[in-house]
Structure 1
Amino acid sequence: QNFGNRAGVADTVRFSDKLRAYQGFFFQQAEWNLNSKLLFTLGLSENFSGYEVDRQIDATRKPTGLQSRKFDPVVIPRVALNYRMNAFSSVYGSVSSGFSPPTIDEVRTNEGSLNFALEAEKGINYEVGYRLGKEKFNFELIGYYLKLEETITTFTNANGVVLFRNAGSTDQKGIEATVDYALLRNSDGFVRDILLGTAYTGQFFKFDEYAKQANDFSGNDLTGVPKHNLVSRLDLRTSIGFYLNFTHQFTDKIPLNDANTVYQESYDLVNMRFGYVRKIGKFDLEVFAGVDNLLDESYSLGNDLNAFAARFYQPAPTRNWYGGVKLGLNY
């Protein structure tokens, strides 16, 4: 239900709907070990989905009643091949198609408007990867290319409501890399654990074919997606109970409109937490303190894309400190 707003108090009902969304799938997969090192996988799924909106009250006096949208069943194949190089590493490749219908929240927005013309996203994804896992060291590298049709993007109207629309086709090329290394793990010394980790994401996403009225955005960067994102962490634990968690995240600049004329600037987000943990009889005691956004960066965790009247930004907190005490009882 949606109500009018009279000085912060709910007024009369504007819209009242009964909503029903359904989704189901049938999935089967077969695997063949062609030899001791080569594994072939074939998967096949069929998806069924749809939704209904039974509008019972409409203060705008538009016709009420039941409206529905059903998506025809879609068969989605997947083929993958994995080659085991040795006991610690392997390479793999896969080709898969995808089908993603709009959610009920995208069709019936939170202020009551209905969009039954929204089409499902359809795409095909090519992926190759390499994995290495050996005792204290783990590494994974993935490259992919996703060709997506009827990409669903967002925009904000004059009332600040986030709405959804199809934006033609997009080319999404990406690379993901993760490295984890245990410098120390369950050591007998004063410092028990020193764990290091880094994850990089490169997202080179562009509109392939996207024309809106007189504007042609084909070739522009996909709205709301940074090209580079890097997250690093350090976790340290001592034998007497002191610990330290440190994380650093770099986020590249982000296009905020389809025309690529407005960007959020890149930023570095640093968080740190320090604490002490000790068991006292049947109790677990933890005392901790930390800081978020140590560098006092100006950034946003939820930009409004294609916002009306250039209202793009939802500022996140600046530098802030916290602390606490936790006490748990062991039975």
Structure 2
Amino acid sequence: MHKPTCAQARRRAPVLRPVAHAMLAATAVLSSPPAAAQAGRDAAAAAPPVSQVMSPVVITGSRVEASAFDVPYSVEGVDVGSASSGNLRVNASEVLSGVPGVVVQNRQNYAQDLQISVRGFGSRAAFGVRGVKLIADGIPATNPDGQGQAATFNLDTAERIEVLRGPFATIYGNHAGGVIQLFSRDGKGEPRLRAGLLGGRHGTLKADVGAEGEAGGIGYVLDASHFETDGERDYSAARRDQAFAKITLAPDADSKLTLLASGLRQPFTDDPLGIGWQTYRRDATAVDPVALQFRTRKRIDHLQGGATYERRFGGDRLQLTAYAGQRSVTQYQSIARNAQSSPNHPGGVVDFDRDFYGLGTRWIAERDFGSGHLTVTAGLDYDRSEDDRQGYENFVGSRLGVKGALRRNETDTVTSTDPYVQAVWRQGDWDWTAGVRRSEVKFEVDDRYVAGSNGDDSGAVTFRKTTPAVGVLWRATPLLNLYASFGTGFETPTLNELSYPANRGGFNFGLRPSQSRQAEIGVKAYVGEATRVNAALFQIRTDDEIVVAGSEGGRTYYANAGKTLRQGLEIAAESDLTRTLTARGAVTAMRAVYDEAFATNPGTGAVAIPRGRRIPGVPAITAYAELGWKPVDGIDAAVEGIHRGRAFVNDLNDEHAAPSYTLINLRLGAEQRSGPWTVTELLRLDNVFDRKHIGSVIVGDRNGRFYEPGPGRNLFGGVRVTYRY
């Protein structure tokens, strides 16, 4: 790591010193003295095992099953079944609020998907998810260029979600500033049917039906759902239909085959855009007039299928994955007519059809090695997407918000080829982990729109990077683990970020990937019989951070800044306070700054960004707390608290920052069983005190529409019914 100068050390000391003291204090309190360590181990051997709720089994990170307590990195397993029991099960934001280091914001705009960042990675995404790797049942929900869609996650069938932060996320390759991986349920047990109907304010309705179970050795999970809302804000209505199918079977005693298919359809989705500060203060439900003028909206059709096969060869395993799919998007934007007068302008309507597919193979071998046990995982991932992309004017004559003349016609292809190897050596009280991945990401553009002064913009660029990670874990006592890890990572520009260079047409093939170096130390501990505490201190240094550089003709273009620095502390805890009361909470404190001055808006409008400015979209403090109460079987209630610190909206930090806020939510659930029937009712009140707040920000918005208001007080309720044969 770069060694700081004396002046730099003095500047950082006020931030790092209290955090370091907190870590050391936690270690001192939770550690057993050396003389008592062996006695503690003997007692643990005789004690009953810790429940899996308190020590969830995770796969993310090691790619083999391991306890989250026994791995040298920050990873959280979220039990989706319990976390989503009092929710609509529409957005991942409903179940990830309690994960430290993660900020998941519902934009209240289904045309742009959720805004997800992990330790600051992904905070600048104006739409979708970037900088964070999304995976569902082993199949990427992130394209090879790094742009992902959390909307494809199906919470009705999810069993758990794992969130990996820190150095070992980097061995998942491009854009793995963090990894969020969903695992759906396998069909097991007696066949059963289920249905649910939930609703709330603003015309919000969620209806779903499903079937799951096992018959003749074949497990199945089937689900279909419909969601609709008129939206919290004006002009933010959306309709979404989802379907999911999973079949599991065992061809023989040593193998397992899983077949998957899913689809998402949003036939129309209004896009209210962001709003300016004065508009927000006047009316948080407002929509910018330009959205109504151009009828900004989006249509999405997404269909994919895949298969995974696992076979055991003694103690070794072979895992194979294959998937393919198709995605179509048509989006009407609010770009003014006169901005499209340049012959190089791609127009105000985005229209593409994407075909994508991929293959993955992995060999897992376990051997006794020396005085310990060695697990080695070696694999190869190949992913490819091909966009047949057109752009059109968003007007015909005086009519706005309609598809007009063709302005863009090309094929964009992105491929990634990534071999990797990872090893874990368990030696007594020590675990040594190392991994390395070699990523090669290639962008190819075949331009078929050559008209007048708009020349042929075809071209290609390939980015390559080797990303190693190492970690060590020490079992100080049976109830206390200490660990440290280090890794390097990289983020290529997304296809969207490459598409618009400054002051000319074509592609910005000069944009470079950002490269990061991450270090982490942490503590994982059990306190007493029913409390688990995790704490991690991390630092991330990044070179060539990709930032919003400016805009021209209604299009945003990007550039590489200098160095950035992220330093932070994460603490998560959960506890069974009494037989009827449970508590859990998480807090993240982070300092995210530009560590080197740079300039945006090259040319006459150049703006200098001084060193030390905060990275926009990254709150300094985030926190979550929940107190649950289950007085008797069949009744449960909880109060939730969510806090977000203020977030800057641009690199210069001179616009109004989104203010900090704290929200309180309540939920109540009841369950009755009678023979084969199970009926569950739920009631949920969000933002109890009707706190006005900004839910998410659009970093560096070219029109100053940085702010996406969050919802006011909302009441939801509904019923779910299950019938078991």
TM-score by length of 1: 0.87
Q: Provide the secondary structure at the position in 1 that maps to 2:394.
A: strand
Pairing partner for 2:462 from 64, 67, 70? 70
Q: Percent identity?
A: 23
Give the drift of 1:88: 1.3
| Corresponding residue number in structure 2 for 1:323 | 717
Larger mean CA deviation between 2-11 and 266-275 belongs to 2-11
Question: What is the letter of the counterpart of residue 20 of structure 1?
Answer: T
Unmatched 5+ residue regions in structure 2?
Answer: 1-389, 600-605
Shift in alpha-carbon separation, 1:220–1:40, aligned structure 2, 3 A? same
> Which gives a bigger RCO, structure 1 or 2 (Cα 8 Å, sep 6+)?
2
Find out whether 1:211 has 2:603 as its counterpart: no
Contact 2:686 2:714 in 1 (8 A): yes
Give the structure with the larger helix fraction: 2
1:282-314 Cα distance to aligned partner (Å, 9 max, x none)? 222122221222222222233122233432212
The number of aligned residues is 320
Task: State the 1:30 CA deviation.
Answer: 3.1
* Aligned AA (2:417): G
Instruction: Summarize the Cα distance change of 1:295–1:17 in structure 2 as closer, same or farther, 3 Å threshold.
Output: farther
Structure 2: distance between partners of 1:60 and 1:249: 55
2:570 pairs with 160, 173, 176, which one? 176
Aligned Cα root-mean-square deviation (Å)? 2.5
Uncovered stretches (5+) of structure 1, i.e. residues with no partner: none
Residue range with higher mean Cα deviation, 258-267 or 237-246:
237-246
User: Following the alignment from structure 1 to structure 2, what is the Cα–Cα distance between the partners of residues 196 and 17?
Assistant: 54
Q: Give, in angstroms, the shift of residue 156 of structure 1.
A: 7.1
- Note if 1:104 corresponds to 2:104: no
Alignment pair present for 1:36 and 2:423: no
- 2:512 is aligned with 1:119: yes
Q: Could you state the TM-score of these two structures normalised by the residue count of structure 2?
A: 0.42
- TM-superposed CA distance for 1:60, in Å, is 8.3
1:81 is matched with 472
Distance in 1, Cα, partners of 2:628 & 2:470: 38
1:105 is paired with a residue of what secondary structure? helix
- Code of the aligned partner of 1:83: W
Name the aligned partner's letter for residue 650 of structure 2. N
Q: Following the alignment from structure 1 to structure 2, what is the Cα–Cα distance between the partners of residues 173 and 18?
A: 41
Deviation at 1:113?
7.4
Q: For 2:552 and 2:704, locate their aligned partners in 1 and report how far apart those are by CA, in whole Å.
A: 10
Does the 8 A contact of 2:629 with 2:638 survive in 1? yes
- Whether 1:15 aligns to 2:402 is no
| Counterpart contact for 1:14–1:59, Cα < 8 Å | no
**Cα distance change on mapping 1:138 and 1:67 into 2, 3 Å:** same
Query: Where do residues 289-304 of structure 1 align in structure 2 (5 Å cutoff)?
Result: 289-304=683-698
Query: Is 1:3 matched with 2:392?
Result: yes
Aligned residue number for residue 582 of structure 2: 195
Tell me, yes or no, if the aligned pair for 1:158 and 1:309 is still in contact at 8 Å: no
Distance in 1 separating the partners of 2:516 and 2:452: 38
Is the CA contact (8 Å cut-off) linking 2:609 and 2:651 kept in structure 1? Answer: no
Taking a change above 3 Å as real, the CA distance of residues 311 and 290 of structure 1, as seen in their structure-2 partners, is same
Q: 1:65 to 1:325 in 2, by over 3 A?
A: same
Contact between 2:619 and 2:646, CA under 8 Å: does it hold in 1? yes
Q: What is the DSSP-based 3-state SS (H/G/I as helix, E as strand, rest coil) of the residue aligned with 1:222?
A: coil
Kindly indicate whether the alpha-carbon contact (under 8 Å) linking 1:217 and 1:258 is maintained by their aligned counterparts in 2: no
Q: Which residue of 1 aligns with 2:59?
A: none
Map 1:180-329 to 2 at 5 A.
180-184=574-578, 187=579, 191=580, 194-212=581-599, 213-262=606-655, 263-329=657-723
